[in-house]
Each structure stands twice: as structure tokens, then as C-alpha cells.
Amino acid sequence: MDKCSFCGRTKKEANLLIAGLEGHICDHCIEQAHNILQEELGNKSSFSLDSIKLRKPDEIKNFLDQYVIGQDRAKKILSVAVYNHYKRLMQKHESDDVEIEKSNIILVGETGTGKTLLARTIARMLHVPFTIVDATVLTEAGYVGEDIESLLTRLLQSADYDVKAAEKGIVFIDELDKIARKGDNPSITRDVSGEGVQQGLLKLLEGSVVNVPPQGGRKHPEQKMIPVDTKNILFICGGAFEGIEKKIAHRLNTAVVGYNASRTRDHYDKDDLLKYIAPQDLRAYGLIPEIIGRLPVLTHLSPLDRQALRAILTEPKNSITKQYIKLLAMDGIELTFTPEALDYIVDKAIEFKLGARGLRAICEAIMIDAMFELPSGNLQEFTVNPDYAARKLERVDMQVLKAS
């Protein structure tokens, strides 16, 4: 009778029995051997601070410039934050007892201005574990959704469950505005995905030892937890904060009173009120003061103007037009966009206030027929001009693009 060569379990007693050259091993022994390996090799971290190539802030910004158009102020702030985070990791404990604290960041900007793109681009050049997580799925403990601690599960996964490496990583929390307090009086209804989530995020942002479920999702009593210290994890938060311009305008109007009120008010850029954002505006929007205090670096991303949108189409290394050109080149077809066609696409994005994300939606609507027909045809060259773009876009309900 076949049985495990290690523990003696028979085929009926084991869930799985794997045959070797001269013996068998059951699933119980495999799991136990795996646990022994984890314990023995757990102290040998593959992450080494010595392997980090410390890039200067201007070098980080130059790298971002290759992929992200505009937003110089935000790129400078992110570059300095990442550079200081590297230096903080490399800090040696000296006799002066000066301990450098981390400066978590919050990025505020309209949809399509490049918040997530900045985070993803930084991920390309980082030598520390990096992950992007979405705040919209988070709820208070005990409710349908994910626990706050599951944010760190992704970081653990990106570090191959190397806890020491994960404890020196960077987390980008997207859609932070979606967990804003839903009302001024939280006692009316249970705000399970708003203020309660913010309270739970406090311990992660400030630095504490958190028990993380290795597979994410909900915690349950029998699940093995992995303790992670968030003291050295840099948190970068982003959100559109739609409608916060009203809060900013209200503050600016009420703050400026007296003889010079109207003259000073004329100096404000009404098309880009986000540049005047302050912590009190985030509080008025629905973030609790404690969480604002743990995100000390506040910066904004300006709405993209016509020149920036035009550059996004062609200049970055992975620009939208370059992607289409490469896709059709794989079928032996040379694709060309005329300058007038690019101007038409930008005009439509501005008309419907779609931002950079809308450029892709418009290009997809224009190119879908060509991408369907050209690979099966005999054409070796294809040119997209404004007339062709207009004809294809006429069939599309632009309101659908705006909704997407």
C-alpha cells in the first residue's frame, strides 16, 4: 500500500500523496517542510540597503519628465520625498540622536491630471517594494469590504513576503477622497466607508506594528497574521476631491475682507483654484484633522492645458500615438497621425473636459475600425487626418466617453 515515506500516512489518510523515485510524500509533510524553510530562511532578507542606487532629486525628476508631461511642482515634491525616504532608510544611528521622520504626501488633482501615472512611473525606477492600492474598497472592521490592514498585503506581495523589505517600502493610496466623511453629523448613520476608515488609517500612517492578513480580505481568528511595522513605510495619497474648488473659493472670499478685498480677489486664478489649496480645505471636504496632520506634504496637480494635452499625445516614451504606431507596425503597417488630426483630438478632449485619460478614450473611438480592418487588408501605410477622425467620432456618443 502506498504511504508517505515521512509520516506514514496512507493514501486515504492524506489529501494528496505525491510519488517520487523510491517513495511518497503527503501534503501535510509538504506544508510542514515549507514552514520549516520559511523559519530557517526568514531572517535572510533579499532586500539590502547597500544595493540601492541613491538618485538625486533632479535625477528622479528627469526620469519622471520622460513619461509625465507638465506638473513640475508635483514632480519636484515627489522627487524630494522619495530621495529623503532613501536617505532615511540609510540613516545610521549617531550620537546626536537626530531621527529623521518620514513626510507622507497627499496629491490633489482633477481626474486625468496624472496622479496615478506619477506613482506608476516612480515604481519603474524604485529599488524598494512599491504598490498602488485603492481606498474605495475599504470599510470598517466587521462590514462587507476589506479591512484597513489589507492595504499592506499588496506591499507584502510585491516584496515576495519579505517583511523587512516591505517595512521600507512605499504605498500609494489612490481615491483618498472617496473615504471623506459623508456628513457633518456622523451619528446620524453609520459611516462604514468614510470616517471609520480614516480612523483606521491613522495607525498605519503614523507608524505602528500592524497584523496583516497574508492573503488580504477579511481577518478571521484561525488565519495566521504577519506583523508589519509601518514606521518606515512612506505613504503617498492621491484623490480628485471633486468639488473642493468651492471650499477653496469660499475660504478665499471670506478671508479677504476690507478696503482691498476686490483688488486682491482679482489676483486669484479662477481656472486653477487648486493651487491655493490648504489643509483647512481638506478638513472642510471631509477629512478628519488627525489624518491631515499625518499627511504634512500637500501639493496639487494643475488642470492640463491645450499645450500639455498635445504633448501627451506624442512626446512621452509610451505616448498614446506611439502605442498605436507600434501595434500596427507589428502587422507591417506604417501608421501616421497628421498634426491637424492631433489638434482635433485635443480640441475634443478640452471641449468635454476629459483630461489626459480622455485622450485615450477618444483615440480608441477613432482607431477601433482601423485596428479591426487593417490587419486583414493589404495596406502598408495608413494616415489619420482630421476628416477621418471626425467621421469616426460622429458615431460615438461623447457623453459615454465622458462617463468613462
Nearest Cα residue to 232 out of 170, 186, 177? 170
Predicted confidence band of residue 144 (pLDDT cuts 50, 70, 90): low
Q: Region 51-77: what's the mean pLDDT?
A: 88
The pLDDT score that the predictor gives to residue 263 is 52
Output the CA–CA distances (angstroms, integers) from residue 294 to 158, 193, 204, 236, in the order listed: 25, 19, 10, 11
The pLDDT score that the predictor gives to residue 256 is 47
Report for 60-74, 81-95, 141-155, 343-357: range of highest mean pLDDT: 60-74
Which of the four CATH numbers 3.30.930.10, 3.30.70.20, 3.40.50.300, 3.20.20.450 does domain 49-243+269-301 have?
Answer: 3.40.50.300
Asked if pLDDT for residue 404 goes beyond 80, the answer is no
Close Cβ partners of 95 (under 8 Å, ≥ 6 residues apart): none
Residue 222 C-alpha cell reads as 484561525
Please state which of the ranges 16-20, 134-138, 144-148 shows the lowest mean pLDDT.
144-148
pLDDT tens sequence across 15-47: 888 888 888 999 889 988 887 877 666 544 555
- Give dist(CA 284, CA 287) in Å, integer: 7
pLDDT tens sequence across 225-271: 889 999 989 999 999 898 899 999 888 886 545 555 555 555 777 77
Q: What ranges make up the beta strands (E) of 135-284?
A: 170-174, 209-212, 226-229, 234-239
Q: How many CA atoms lie within 13 A of 37 on its CB side?
A: 6
Q: Region 295-300: what's the mean pLDDT?
A: 92
Question: Residue 230 gets which letter from DSSP?
Answer: -
Question: Residue 400 gets which letter from DSSP?
Answer: H
Q: Considering the chain, what is the average pLDDT of its residues?
A: 83
Predicted confidence band of residue 367 (pLDDT cuts 50, 70, 90): very high
The pLDDT score that the predictor gives to residue 379 is 92
Q: Region 351-374: what's the mean pLDDT?
A: 89
The pLDDT score that the predictor gives to residue 37 is 79
Strand order in the sheet with 170-174: 130-134, 170-174, 234-239, 105-109, 297-301
- CATH number 3.40.50.300 is the correct assignment for the domain at 309-403: no
Asked if pLDDT for residue 189 goes beyond 60, the answer is no
The better pLDDT of the pair 21, 57 is held by: 57
- The DSSP line for 49-79 is GGG-----HHHHHHHHHTT--S-HHHHHHHH
Query: CB count, 10 Å around CB of 341?
Result: 21
The better pLDDT of the pair 176, 37 is held by: 176
pTM, entire model: 0.75
Contact assessment for residue 148 and residue 197, using Cβ atoms and an 8 Å cutoff? yes
Query: CB count, 10 Å around CB of 81?
Result: 21
Predicted confidence band of residue 375 (pLDDT cuts 50, 70, 90): very high
| Chain centre distance of CA 56 | 22
End-to-end CA distance of the chain: 62
